[in-house]
């Protein structure tokens, strides 16, 4: 059995995602495709435009066979932990043969060479990195120069580290190396609009362009050409019934959290240094909303996205201690199913035979089968999803959806 694994957010699912699924399936002659998908919070530190079950159905109707949830602690984390959590999940399933990801580079040899240097950290490279940092360079620039100083043959590929999908791809490769995994990496060259491109093109725009069009209240018919027909129908149906969430919908909750912990600071949270904690405290009197606060805190060394992610860590109580615990548990201790295709039953059978972690299809049953530590991690994830669902209910003046009563998606 040949099984592709793809890590995704599908926020929302568009033509570029459909192309990647199909191209990877054909290139690897895959029998099945498993998606490890972020839940209701994204890596850029913002809520999902559409809830995770709607996005799961989009994926299953457009080429995916099984969708598993990437816990929020990884989904809303740095590229390193995002990749480590995802790769650990695929590795522990015991059936994944190929890890497929999109990249601007499209060259698996170049990406693998860079990943090997970053993973093994040879002393000349590390010394160059330290020297560059002492000169006042930001970490990304210092790392790029250290890489070129150590491996001049990569000079033609010096722009690789300036593109987000390349960076994430390198982290996937590092994670595979660290696990000595038998999974083979495969990259698809990203087609269509750039990751950060906010313009609506003909049929290959970015997800951010779609999100911004929705946020601006534009006529959604303009998005029909950007998405597979079924995905567009699911999105428009969802948006016709409820208003979507955006980062500023969490402004009051974030301000409350920042105020109540002002006296002790925020450096117990993941990715937050003592310097950033002090900056947050000093800037807090000017708080006027989630996104505007990110703008106030960003600097040449810390992007808006990184600040937004750090603030989300505070809001969702994602501590450094939690991440240390996850490391000791080898990152993933269960696989939660969000949905699957009926004809993927042989895949589920193979996973049950080969997986080293339990497959969770029912939250109620999980309470009887998971270890105490795994159950604690699952409960944290359910709570974070309930924070999303609670704010969604408040915004739409409806009853909050109960995570325990939401069935998995079967198509």
**Is residue 214 a contact partner of residue 200, using CB atoms and an 8 Å limit?**
no
Report DSSP letters for 352-374, one per residue.
HHH-SS-EES-HHHHHHHS-HHH
Q: Is 23 annotated as a binding residue?
A: no
Q: Is 19 annotated as a binding residue?
A: yes
Q: Is 107 annotated as a binding residue?
A: no
Contacts of 73 (CB under 8 A, 6+ apart): 81, 85, 270, 318, 322, 323, 326, 377, 380, 381
| Distance, C-alpha 233 to centroid of its chain | 24
Is the sign of the CA dihedral 84, 89, 90, 93 positive or negative? positive
At 285, list the tokens.
Answer: 């009197």
End-to-end Cα, the chain, rounded Å: 22
Q: Alpha-carbon distance 199 to 210, whole Å? A: 9
Q: Is 15 annotated as a binding residue?
A: yes
Question: Other C-beta atoms within 10 Å of 159: how many?
Answer: 11
Q: Is 10 annotated as a binding residue?
A: yes
Q: Is 13 annotated as a binding residue?
A: yes
At 117, list the tokens.
Answer: 């240097």
Q: Is 20 annotated as a binding residue?
A: yes
**Is residue 333 a contact partner of residue 377, using CB atoms and an 8 Å limit?**
yes
Tell me which H or E stretch contains 119.
Answer: helix 108-120
Q: Helix %, strand %, coil % for the chain, to 5?
A: 60, 10, 30
Q: Is 269 annotated as a binding residue?
A: no
Q: Is 199 annotated as a binding residue?
A: no
Report DSSP letters for 52-104, one per residue.
HHHHHHHHHTTT-SEEEEEPHHHHTS-HHHHHHHHHHHHHHHS---EEEEEES
Q: Is 18 annotated as a binding residue?
A: yes
Q: Is 102 annotated as a binding residue?
A: yes
Question: Other C-beta atoms within 10 Å of 121: how many?
Answer: 9
Q: Where is the binding site, in residues?
A: 7-20, 102, 165, 190
Q: Where is the binding site for ATP, in residues?
A: 7-20, 102, 165, 190
């Amino acid at each position: 059995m040949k099984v592709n694994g793809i890590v995704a957010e599908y926020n929302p699912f568009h033509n570029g995602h459909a192309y990647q699924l199909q191209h990877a399936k054909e290139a690897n002659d895959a029998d099945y495709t498993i998606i490890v998908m972020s839940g209701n919070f994204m890596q850029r530190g913002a809520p999902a435009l559409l809830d995770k079950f709607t996005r799961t159905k989009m994926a299953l109707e457009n080429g995916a066979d099984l969708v598993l949830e990437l816990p929020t602690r990884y989904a809303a984390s740095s590229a390193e932990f995002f990749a480590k959590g995802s790769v650990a999940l695929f590795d522990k399933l015991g059936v994944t043969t190929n890890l497929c990801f999109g990249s601007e580079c499209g060259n698996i040899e170049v990406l693998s060479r860079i990943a090997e240097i970053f993973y093994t950290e040879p002393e000349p490279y590390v010394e160059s990195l330290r020297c560059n940092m002492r000169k006042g360079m930001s970490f990304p620039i210092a790392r790029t120069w250290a890489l070129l100083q150590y491996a001049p043959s990569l000079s033609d590929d010096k722009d690789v580290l300036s593109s987000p999908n390349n960076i994430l791809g390198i982290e996937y490769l590092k994670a595979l190396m660290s696990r000595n995994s038998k999974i083979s990496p495969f990259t698809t060259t990203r087609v269509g609009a750039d990751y950060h491109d906010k313009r609506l093109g003909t049929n290959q725009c970015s997800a951010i362009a779609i999100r911004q069009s929705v946020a601006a209240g534009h006529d959604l018919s303009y998005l029909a050409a950007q998405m597979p027909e079924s995905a567009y129908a699911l999105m428009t149906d969802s948006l016709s019934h409820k208003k979507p969430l955006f980062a500023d919908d969490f402004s009051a909750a974030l301000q409350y959290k920042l105020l109540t912990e002002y006296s002790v600071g925020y450096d117990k949270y993941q990715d937050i240094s003592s310097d950033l904690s002090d900056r947050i405290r000093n800037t807090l009197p000017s708080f006027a909303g989630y996104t505007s606060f990110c703008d106030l805190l960003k600097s040449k060394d810390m992007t808006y996205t990184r600040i937004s992610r750090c603030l989300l860590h505070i809001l969702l109580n994602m501590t450094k201690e939690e991440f240390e615990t996850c490391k000791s548990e080898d990152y993933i201790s269960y696989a939660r199913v969000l949905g699957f295709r009926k004809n993927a039953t042989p895949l589920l059978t193979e996973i049950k035979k080969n997986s080293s972690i339990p497959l969770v299809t029912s939250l109620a049953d999980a309470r009887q089968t998971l270890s105490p530590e795994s159950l604690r991690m699952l409960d944290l994830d359910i709570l974070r999803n309930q924070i999303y669902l609670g704010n969604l209910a408040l915004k739409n003046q409806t009853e909050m959806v109960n995570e325990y009563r939401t069935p998995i998606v079967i198509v």
